[in-house]
Structure 1
Amino acid sequence: MTDRLAFGGGGAVAPPDPWDPVVRLTHWAVVAAVVTNYLVVKPGGAVHVWVGWALMAVLALRFLWGLAGPREARFSAFPPDPRATLSHLADMARGRARDYPSHNPAGAMMVYALWVLLVVVALTGLVMTGGQSPVTIAEEKAAVAAGDWSVLVKEDAGDHDEDDRSDIPEEIHEVAANLIVLLALLHVAGVAVESRLLRRSLLRPMIRGSRSS
């Protein structure tokens, strides 16, 4: 069960620095990657692929940190708990909120949902690019631009069934990306509501690493 700390009323005080530098770095790196690939760069372009590979590296770092990092950053500090999530949301609907040393139950469920979708986006991106590195893709694009179309011969060798199957990862990729943005907006709204209920900013600790108001 997730560790809890009561807020106020003579209870224990939340730790002063729940979000260590690695947690904050990976959090904002994921935000930057999603915004860049969803809103800024051309889908399927070289920059899009580079950002995708960087995102995979960031996720790998965060998952390792979830096993070996400080207590508040570990998976054991915020296990997915649907029942606790519903209870937490019900408390929020009644205008009550409780402080937690790590993610609250609703925040934990959101984190795991986003991680799953990010992994889906990364894996389908790898399938769509044939597992090629950004360097290889850039070299092929440069060769085509220079008039060497031989690098594309292998892409034309497949039959129509393979072409139809190749659309499936792209569709999954797009759906997962749209769900990530939708959940991110819900996450921002939840942070805003809970900050108001707790009468302190929940965003500030993720920026400065301090939970003090």
Structure 2
Amino acid sequence: MMELHRKDAAVVYAYVIDMRRYLDEGEFVTAASGTVTPVSDPEMAIRRMEYDADGIALWLTGGQDELRYTVEIIARTNMRRTWRLRFAIITHGDAAPAEIIDITVEQIADAVGAGVGPILALAPASLTFPATAVGETSAARTVDVLNVGSDTVSLRSIAPSGAFSFKSNAQGRVAPGESFTLTVRFTPTRTGTVYGSIVIDGNTSVTLPLSGRGT
């Protein structure tokens, strides 16, 4: 089973997912994306996600007490296999760590990827910008957005939030196995940690978590 641990204060839930028991020798994650439901609660969100040869780490913030949230992660590997990881958490505010329940891990597509529909994954899975002076703009960082599913992705919108801007070479449709690039910059308007995201929406959707620190 997965190894998930609450590692921080009540407002930040950090989890480490050990993928070594599922992947073949020499196989590792090359792209990932994550969602949290219910989406009607904007306070619970994935703020950061990273992956390496051993697994996936993610940080969530917010949430209402005694409410169940479902976290779903899509992971693509160098062997072109796609995995879906899903677990639920129930938050308890400051009183106790969040409960972790209903953990499932399944391979949903091999290299052919037939029958899984359109699925987007991100490489890297989030961006964290270095300290940047208020009113200044950071150096650009890029993210590849990959269609790891079996059907073409039809894009409707790409929308940023927070103190972040982007440019994209997206053409409106992304065939299976193809990708496009987001070029993202951070322009803080206040000091301290700033969170934001870029939501890519269409016949499927994915959210790129963004963070940075204004100085």
| TM bracket, shorter-chain basis | under 0.3
Greater relative contact order, per chain length (Cα 8 Å cut-off, separation 6+) = 1
For normalisation by structure 2, the TM-score amounts to 0.20
Q: Which has the higher helix share?
A: 1
Q: Which has the higher strand share?
A: 2
For normalisation by structure 1, the TM-score amounts to 0.20
